[in-house]
Structure 1
Amino acid sequence: MPPNPNTVLLIAVLASFSTPFMLSSINVALPVMAPALGLDAMTMGWVSLSFLLSSAALLVPMGRAADVFGRKRVLTLGFALFTAASLFCGLAAAGWQLLAARVLQGMGSAMIFGTSTAILTAVFPPERRGKALGWVSASVYTGLSLGPPLGGFLAQSVSWRAIFLANVPLGLGVLWLIRARLAGAEWKGGENETFDLPGAALYAAALAALMYGLSAITAPPGILSAAAGAAALLLFLRRETRIANPILNAGLFLRNRVFAFSNLAAFLNYGASFAPGFLLSLYLQYKEGMSPRQAGLLLAFQPVFMVIFSPWAGRLSDRKDPGVIASAGMALTAAGIACFTVTGAGLPLWRIAAGLCVLGFGLALFAAPNTNAVMGSVEKRHYSVAAASLGTMRLTGQMFSMAVVMLLFSVFIGRVQLGPGAAEGLVSSMNAAIAVFTVLAAAGVLASLKRRR
């Protein structure tokens, strides 16, 4: 008997909730975590970047592994690793221990992201797929919504460690659901194909070196790392065009216009929209003197709008052209980000709230329709790799977003602990970053429209 699609949807919803909840919670809790673990401004950025780096480097290889060895198997292993790593994060006694556990969390997330969406796409028919993906997007944004206020409450009233430990019972619950409700079921896309382990290792090393280099591009080691990563990525792409069972099918990008430009739009969207929340959290606490709880409540405007409008946007993409809907979302994203520029008169709270609402509505219009466009443009045997590719664009976009911020921090602030004395450097960094992110979002509108021509 095939599994109930609604059970798969529930698992995908829970899987999609945990990581965004943790990421948005940590942004608010960083000022509390920093003195406890001795983190400076640059290391604070690595709390998020270490997770994103390991996750992005392994997403495509894990998506391919899921197609070859079984999507449920990889999903189960991913949740087990993610849950254990969350426990290790909550028990960390030093900065390096937290960063090491975050790397393990990222590895587990890489095994979860592509497989849950691929399984969902496999069990729902095309006419109901957009609606299901809309609920998944809503769960992502529910995690983002609850993250700032609940993370601020936990950091201020309990401990920042509780943010990580909250993932443990959630992960155990999902593992029980998989074991109890998906027993005997499995989904594969490459039954008689092999897994290219050397190619997977080359891809992971190339992407990790490239993104690390971008985050430290002002120093000679960063330049060398970025150059080595770019060269290794070119070697990987050359290898993939010459083997029978590649990790990443280059033809999906070269011959599938919708797939290629939808992925590019996703990279630009997340590259533009991820770091503003990180910057606003620091601005509100260090410049405006807000508590973590107060800052979290204000930042919740954005994901609340996402939660409200994502299911509707997903249903709309089942009836209308997803590319048009996603393009409108990108335009609103650019407008929302531009609201966060600090002028001579400062950045009034009403403008922050308005910008967060516009940004939230724009992201809701973009996410589910863009995912629907990607998954609907490939054959069933490529579902896991397609979902992993889209996830990689999301994570590399988020990594690039944080790399821009860390580059600007190194220019305007340097390796000092943030505080009232560094407020001027924080504002300068923030204004430069907002300008970059607004341009990225505007470019995303063009990429999103390009897939339709």
Structure 2
Amino acid sequence: MYSQTEKSVLLLISSLASFLVPYTVSSLNVALPAIGSSFGLDAVTLGWVTTAYLLIAAVFMLPFGKLADIYGRKRVFIIGTILFAIGSLLAAISWSGSVIIIARMIQGLGGAMVFSTSMAIVTVVFPPGERGRAIGIITATVYAGLSLGPVLGGFLTQMYGWPSIFIVNVPLALIVVVLTILFLHDEWKDLKSGFDSGGAVLYGCMLMGIMYGLTVLPSPASILWIGGGVAGGYLFFRWEQKQERPLIRLSTFRTNRTFLCSNVAAMINYAVVFAVGFLVSLSLQYTRGFDPATTGMILLAQPLVQTVVSPLAGKASDSVEPAIIATLGMAATTIGLGVLLIVLPSGSVLWILAGLVILGLGYGLFSSPNTNAIMSSVEVTDLGMASGMVSTMRTVGQLISLAIAMMVFSVVIGTVEITPDVYHQLEQSTSIIFIICIGLGILGIFTSYVRGTVRNHESEE
């Protein structure tokens, strides 16, 4: 049992760490045109500044979640925060596009360690009656990072240059490390549970092949990468069935419909939403001529609403079935995408803000209840795996979102630098991407609706 003070400190530490990554992602959206100009990057290569982080994070989140269950969540959490700070520093001093992409990969490694442990730490401390509220607060902190990112990123980029958005991460990460060392004394570990290294390698090959293949579509090499990833997936599932202590308990997916559908719904949710900030930022700055600071203020609408709604939705999911709230959220998200599809090319800024507000409402209603459903549907021994899976689904969804965008850009625009000559193609690409995401959103509504309930499991805890 934890005292209220210990719970508050733990929640503060997890929230601070959870702030860093989304802040970097959202501030980076505003800074991407400036980064592209600095290094002369085309649209596809510029997308890799974001994709590199997501690809590495997706591959390592689940293995780090399992390692945290075995060797200690506190240890993995601290190392991850330090790595994220190192990656941020390298990104700030980058002298080429290749270097900043490598720095983003290091950030991805650190981010995988942080996000695969933070939710597990909170879940084991807070009982079911308090868990939704705690998860809602952490989710709100994530959205606070998303909210402040465009504003701070736009201001810092305009006043001090894009490297400054990475420098801010370093002192914040150090604060998290110091607080964790000083105040987080409890450690949960299961040294008797061995690590499935073979499964981790096959899992990494599966995700790397499929996710990288998606990002290089429609090139012929994409078929080879995706085919290799599918083959790796087949070997991974065969391997896991034979392991006494597998990386993933496949039986959890077969017998726990809530866990399966909630994770799939999470992946779809992030797939339809993540590229929105990237697309709206490019549209406003390139085709409408807005400066980074103004663009950041407009993009603030979505995460600001998410920050307000998320803790309320999380708290509500402690008493109301999470599936109901999350499904309503997915529906609102899809409606918001439809509004943006219509108004982004030539509509007024007020209509764009309306679309972003609806999108933020849906996102906030979905995320906390959905995460609560996932974390409440497994036993305590699998919390690290579940936390890693939540983060993996988020990152895979984000990567799918960017892969869709990059694929459409490759087909419609090609590998040329974004200039006024291709602004019309940029608008065409954006509309196509939104249509694809709306279709996925409809699928997400169905997946969220059929997940089942988690109340019976919670009553047993």
TM-score range, shorter chain: over 0.9
3-state DSSP of counterpart to 1:102: helix
Q: Cα distance, 1:192 vs. partner?
A: 1.0
Name the counterpart of 1:432. Answer: 432
Name the counterpart of 2:53. Answer: 51
3-state DSSP of counterpart to 2:10: helix
Q: Which of 10, 13, 16 is residue 12 of structure 2 equivalent to? A: 10
Name the counterpart of 2:252. Answer: 252
CA distance in 1, matches of 2:258, 2:448: 9
Q: Are 2:165 and 1:163 equivalent residues in the alignment?
A: yes
Contact 1:342 1:427 in 2 (8 A): no
CA distance in 2, matches of 1:297, 1:252: 43
3-state DSSP of counterpart to 2:317: helix
Contact 1:216 1:223 in 2 (8 A): no
CA distance in 2, matches of 1:254, 1:352: 42
1:182-197 aligned at under 5 Å gives the runs: 182-183=184-185, 185-188=186-189, 190-197=190-197
Name the counterpart of 1:229. Answer: 229
The one-letter code matched in structure 1 to 2:243 is I
Name the counterpart of 1:31. Answer: 33
Name the counterpart of 1:112. Answer: 114
Name the counterpart of 2:77. Answer: 75
CA distance in 1, matches of 2:19, 2:383: 21
Name the counterpart of 2:366. Answer: 366
CA distance in 1, matches of 2:141, 2:268: 22
CA distance in 1, matches of 2:221, 2:345: 39
**TM-score using structure 1 length:** 0.98
The one-letter code matched in structure 1 to 2:187 is E
Gaps of 5+ in 1: none
**TM-score using structure 2 length:** 0.96
Name the Cα RMSD after superposition: 1.3
Q: Alpha carbons of 1:344 and 1:409: their partners in 2 closer, same or farther (altered >3 Å)?
A: closer
Name the counterpart of 1:404. Answer: 404
Q: Alpha carbons of 1:419 and 1:345: their partners in 2 closer, same or farther (altered >3 Å)?
A: closer
Contact 1:253 1:260 in 2 (8 A): yes
CA distance in 1, matches of 2:19, 2:66: 23
CA distance in 2, matches of 1:79, 1:198: 26
CA distance in 2, matches of 1:96, 1:205: 23
String of CA shifts for 1:406-444, please: whole Å, max 9, x gaps. 000001111111122211111111010000001111111
Name the counterpart of 1:124. Answer: 126
Q: Are 2:140 and 1:144 equivalent residues in the alignment?
A: no
1:408-423 aligned at under 5 Å gives the runs: 408-423=408-423
Q: Cα distance, 1:341 vs. partner?
A: 1.5
Q: Alpha carbons of 1:320 and 1:25: their partners in 2 closer, same or farther (altered >3 Å)?
A: same
Q: Cα distance, 1:193 vs. partner?
A: 1.0
CA distance in 1, matches of 2:275, 2:307: 20
Name the counterpart of 2:459. Answer: none
Name the counterpart of 1:91. Answer: 93
The one-letter code matched in structure 1 to 2:167 is L
1:274-353 aligned at under 5 Å gives the runs: 274-342=274-342, 346-353=346-353
Question: Quick check: 415-424 or 319-328, which moved more?
Answer: 415-424
Identical positions, percent = 43
Q: Are 2:381 and 1:377 equivalent residues in the alignment?
A: no
Q: Cα distance, 1:343 vs. partner?
A: 6.7
Name the counterpart of 1:200. Answer: 200
The one-letter code matched in structure 2 to 1:141 is Y
CA distance in 2, matches of 1:332, 1:191: 44
3-state DSSP of counterpart to 1:332: helix
Q: Cα distance, 1:348 vs. partner?
A: 2.5
CA distance in 2, matches of 1:162, 1:274: 23
CA distance in 1, matches of 2:11, 2:344: 48
Question: Quick check: 36-45 or 126-135, which moved more?
Answer: 36-45
Q: Alpha carbons of 1:398 and 1:131: their partners in 2 closer, same or farther (altered >3 Å)?
A: same
String of CA shifts for 1:191-219, please: whole Å, max 9, x gaps. 41101112112211220111110111211
Name the counterpart of 1:210. Answer: 210
Name the counterpart of 2:447. Answer: 447
Contact 1:196 1:246 in 2 (8 A): yes
Name the counterpart of 1:355. Answer: 355
Name the counterpart of 1:178. Answer: 180
String of CA shifts for 1:66-91, please: whole Å, max 9, x gaps. 11111111111111111111111111
3-state DSSP of counterpart to 2:246: coil
Gaps of 5+ in 2: 454-461
Question: Quick check: 315-324 or 337-346, which moved more?
Answer: 337-346
CA distance in 2, matches of 1:2, 1:255: 32
CA distance in 1, matches of 2:345, 2:237: 49
String of CA shifts for 1:122-155, please: whole Å, max 9, x gaps. 1111100000001001001000000111101111
